[in-house]
A = this chain, B = another copy of it.
C-alpha cells in the first residue's frame, strides 16, 4: 500500500479538517449520505462522473477516519449501508456552508474558474441534493 513520504501538517484545526475532507468526492459523498443515500449502488448512480473505484476507496477512508460507519447485511446479493457517525454529523454544517457558498456565488465562480488558464472543460451533472435550511 501507498505510504506518505512527506509529513502531514496537523498544527492547526484547518489541516486536520482538510485531511478528513481531502478527496475529490468526499464532500459530495458526505452530503449524499446525510440526505439518505446510503447504499453504494445509489451513490454510484448519484455521482456518475466518479468511477466506482474512487468512491469505494474514499468511502473506506471516511470510514477509517471515523466519519461514516458501514453496515453489512449478510445477504445475497450483498447489501451495504453507510451512515454518518456522531462526529461525522458534526461535519454537516461545514458541508452545508460549502454547498451554499458555492451556490450563492455560482455566477461569479463560474466566470473566474472558466477564465482559469488551466481549466479547459467543466462538467455539470446531477449531484444537486440540498438540505432545507428550515425543514
A interface residues with partner B (beta carbon < 8 Å): 1-5, 7-20, 27-28, 31, 49, 64-66, 87, 90-91, 93-95, 97-106, 108-110, 112-113, 115-129
Q: A97: which B residues are within 8 A, CB to CB?
A: 93-94, 97
Query: Are B12 and A127 touching (Cβ within 8 A)?
Result: yes
Report the separation of the CA atoms of residues A99 and B94 in the bound assembly, to the nearest whole angstrom.
10
Set B3, B11, B16, B102: member contacting A105, Cβ < 8 A: B16
Set B12, B99, B118: member contacting A12, Cβ < 8 A: B99
Chain B: minimal CB distance from A48 (Å): 10
Query: Are A120 and B14 touching (Cβ within 8 A)?
Result: no
Given A16-B106, A94-B94, A94-B101, A65–B112 Cβ distance below 8 Å? yes
